Structure 1
Amino acid sequence: MLVALLMGFSSGLPLLLTSTLLQAWLTREGINLGLIGLFSLVGLPYTLEFVWAPVLDRFRLGALGRRRGWLLATQLALVLTIASMALLDPNRDLLVVAVLCLLIAFCSASQDTVINAYRRESLADDEQGFGASLYVNGYRAAMLVVSGGGLILVHFVGFHEVYLVMAAFMGVGIATTFIASEPALTSPLPHGFRESVVEPFLSYLRRPDAVWVLVFLLLYKVGDLVASNMTIPFYLEMGYSNLTIGMVVKAFGFWAIIGGGLLGGTLILRIGTFRALFWFGLLQACATASFALLTLTGPSIGWLAFVISAENLTLGMSTAAFVGFMALMTDRRFTATQYALLSSLMGVPRVILSAPSGYLALGLGWPLFFIVCGFLAAPGLILLNRFRHWLDVPPDPPPATRVSGETAALLE
Structure 2
Amino acid sequence: MTDGLELLNDKPRRSWAESARAFLHPKVLALLFLGFSAGVPLYLVFSTLSVWLREAGIERATIGFFSWAALAYGFKFVWSPLIDRLPVPVLARWLGRRRAWLLVAQAGIIGALSFMALTDPSGSETHLVAMALGAVGLAFCSATQDIVIDAYRIESADEDLQGLMSATYIAGYRLGMLVAGAGALELAGFLDHVQGYDYAAWRGTYFAMAGVMGIGILTTFVISEPPYVKPLGVVMDKGEDYLRFIVLFGLVAAAFAGGFIVMPDVSAGLTEPLGEALAGFVSGALRLSGALAAAVVAGVALVQLGLVAKDMAYETYVAPFADFFTRYGRTALVILALIMTYRISDIVMGVMANVFYLDLGFDKEQIGLISKGFGLGATIVGGFIGGLVTVRYGVMKTMWMGGILVVASNALFAVMVGVSPHIWVLMAVISADNLSGGISSAAFVAYLSGLTSKSFTATQYALFSSLMMLLPKLIAGYSGVAVDAFGYVAFFIGTALMGLVPLVLILVVAWKGRAALQR
Relative to the length of structure 1, the TM-score reads 0.81
2:137 equivalent in structure 1: 103
**What residue ranges of structure 1 are gaps of 5+ in the alignment?**
396-412
Displacement of 1:6 after TM fit?
0.7
In structure 1, C-alpha distance between the alignment counterparts of 2:115 and 2:479, rounded to whole Å: 28
Q: Distance in 2 between matches of 1:185 and 1:310?
A: 41
Q: Which residue of 1 aligns with 2:286?
A: none
- CA deviation string 1:346-380 (max 9, x = no partner): 12145433333444444445554444333322222
Deviation at 1:164, TM superposition (A): 4.6
Change (3 A) 1:142 1:298: farther
Q: Counterpart of 1:207 in 2: which secondary structure?
A: helix
CA shift in 2, pair 1:205/1:164, >3 Å: same
Residues 13 and 290 (structure 1 numbering): CA distance in 2 closer, same or farther, change over 3 Å?
Answer: farther
Q: Give distance in 1, aligned partners of 2:109 and 2:98.
A: 17
Say if 1:293 and 1:210 are closer, same or farther in 2 by CA, change over 3 A: same
Does residue 206 in structure 1 map to residue 237 in structure 2? Answer: no
Secondary structure at 1:284's aligned position in 2? helix
The amino acid that maps onto 2:159 is D
Mean Cα deviation higher: 339-348 or 230-239:
230-239
RMSD: 3.6
Correspondence for 2:391 among 263, 269, 281: 269
**Aligned runs of 1:1-400 on 2, under 5 Å?**
1-21=28-48, 41-61=68-88, 62=91, 63-85=94-116, 87-88=120-121, 100-150=134-184, 160=202, 163-187=206-230, 191=235, 192-208=312-328, 209-235=331-357, 240-292=362-414, 300-349=422-471, 351-389=473-511
Identity %: 38
1:49-81 CA-partner distances (Å, limit 9, x unpaired): 121111101122223221111111111222233
Quick one: distance in 2 between partners of 1:289 and 1:30? 39
More deviation, 220-229/274-283: 220-229
Could you say which structure has the larger radius of gyration?
2
Contact 1:226 1:349 in 2 (8 A): no
- Does the 8 Å CA contact 2:112/2:137 hold for their aligned counterparts? yes
Per the alignment, in what secondary structure is the counterpart of residue 394 of structure 2?
helix
| Cα shift at 1:303 | 2.7
Between the aligned partners of 1:332 and 1:141, the Cα distance in structure 2 is 29
Q: Does 327-336 or 177-186 show the bigger shift?
A: 177-186
Match of 1:398 in 2: none
* Shift in alpha-carbon separation, 1:109–1:379, aligned structure 2, 3 A: same
Return 308-317 or 160-169, whichever deviates more: 160-169
Q: Which runs of 5+ in 2 are unaligned?
A: 1-27, 193-200, 236-311
Question: Is the Cα contact below 8 Å between 1:18 and 1:105 reproduced in 2?
Answer: yes
Q: 1:27 to 1:285 in 2, by over 3 A?
A: farther
For 1:146 and 1:35, locate their aligned partners in 2 and report how far apart those are by CA, in whole Å: 22
- Structure 2 CA distance for partners of 1:154 and 1:266, relative to 1, 3 Å: same
Contact persistence 2:167–2:380 (CA under 8 A): no
Q: What do residues 315-340 of structure 1 show as CA deviations (whole Å, max 9, x unaligned)?
A: 11000110000001011111111111
**For the residues of structure 2 that align with 1:38 and 1:129, how far apart are their CA atoms?**
37
- 1:289, distance to aligned residue in structure 2 (A): 4.2
- Does the residue aligned with 1:332 lie in a helix, a strand or coil? coil
251-260 vs 363-372, which deviates more? 363-372
Structure 1: distance between partners of 2:206 and 2:515: 46
User: Which AA in structure 1 matches 2:83?
Assistant: L
* Whole-angstrom CA distance in 2 between matches of 1:183 and 1:244: 44
Alpha carbons 2:53, 2:121 under 8 Å: kept: no
Distance verdict in 2 for CA 1:119–1:382, change over 3 Å? same
* Structure 2 CA distance for partners of 1:23 and 1:295, relative to 1, 3 Å: farther
How far 1:285 sits from its partner (Å)?
2.8
Give the whole-Å Cα distance in 2 for the aligned partners of 1:342 and 1:146: 26
Residue-pair matches, total:
394
Counterpart code for 1:107: C
Counterparts of 2:123 and 2:438 in 1: how far apart (Å)? 32
2:346·2:410 contact (CA, 8 Å) conserved in 1?
yes
Q: Structure 2: which amino acid aligns with 1:344? A: S
Q: Given that residues 152 and 243 in structure 1 are in contact (C-alpha distance below 8 angstroms), is that contact kept between their aligned partners in structure 2?
A: no
Amino acid in the other structure paired with 1:88: P
| Cα distance per residue 1:134-189 (max 9 Å; x no partner) | 22222223233345445555665679365554333322212211211111213357
- Partners of 2:444 and 2:174 in 1: CA distance: 14
Greater length-normalized contact order (CA 8 Å, ≥ 6 residues apart)? 1
- Structure 1 distance, partners of 2:222, 2:186, is 31
In 2, Cα distance between the equivalents of 1:50 and 1:67?
A: 16
8 Å CA contact 1:117, 1:336 repeated in 2: yes
Distance 1:247 1:343 in 2: 30
State the Cα deviation string for residues 258-283 of structure 1 (Å, max 9, x = none): 21111111111232222211120121
Q: Is the 8 A contact 2:362 2:421 kept in 1?
A: yes
Contact persistence 2:36–2:173 (CA under 8 A) = yes
**Separation in structure 1 between the aligned mates of residue 132 and residue 493 of structure 2, nearest angstrom:** 30
**2:164 aligned partner, one-letter code:** F
Q: Which amino acid in structure 1 is aligned with residue 95 of structure 2?
A: L
Render the CA deviation track for 1:176-207: whole Å, top value 9, x for unaligned.
11211111213357523333332211111112
